[in-house]
Amino acid sequence: MKQESAAPNTAPASQSPTPSAQFPRNDGHPQALWIFGYGSLVWRPDFAYSNSRVGFVRGYSRRFWQGDTFHRGSDKMPGRVVTLLEDHEGCTWGVAYQVQGEQVSEALKYLNVREAVLGGYDTREVTFYPQDAPDQPLKALAYVATPQNPGYLGPAPEEAIAMQILACRGFSGHNLEYLLRLADFMQLCGPQAQDEHLAAIVDAVGTMLPCFCPTEQALALV
């Protein structure tokens, strides 16, 4: 993956304090929090937020290595969704959402069900570099699926992942929609956000799709 030049790890002068610097509320949650999304959260956060910023985190690569038996698949045919893999040379683009006040507890409650209970993800603190101010990084919360969770599928050839994506559907829609919406977001971010793993799966899907189903069905999926 293409790497960005190093940015000083200093708190932004114009941004809200990082979560650790906030005074906790009565429910134990911070007054404000940034949440980093790199999968479906980039186009469908489904929680109230005060601000959003496009940017990236360093030290991680995005991989379609997590199984999904609810949103994009089923128990018999798990879909493939993304997680973050620790990678010293990695750089993953996404969107950070700022939640404040009552939005904090509501967002965390919602995401606990969507990402943790139904998705198998754990939380992790990451350093987020906004695209418009990479020299002013933010601390953010990210949901990461580790190999220890029961839904973890791990690595596979991009062609095999593409075939699995083409075959799966869940309560949130077809697995192919998930892939293409994520690819669309990366295109909007520009060439600096190149994701070779994602691009290889999209290319494999493009090759397989005409043979996988009739043209009318293929167009309906897209």
Catalytic residues: 115
What is the rounded distance in angstroms from the CA atom of residue 59 to the CA atom of residue 85?
8
Q: Which of 155, 173, 176, 154 is nearest to 165 (CA)?
A: 176
DSSP β-ladder status, 51-68 and 138-144: unpaired
Give the amino acid at 102: E
DSSP β-ladder status, 32-37 and 138-144: parallel
| Token digits of residue 191 | 């060439």
What is the rounded distance in angstroms from the CA atom of residue 55 to the CA atom of residue 103?
22
Cα 75 from chain centroid (whole Å): 22
Q: What are the Cα distances from residue 167, in Å, to 63, 212, 217?
A: 18, 9, 12
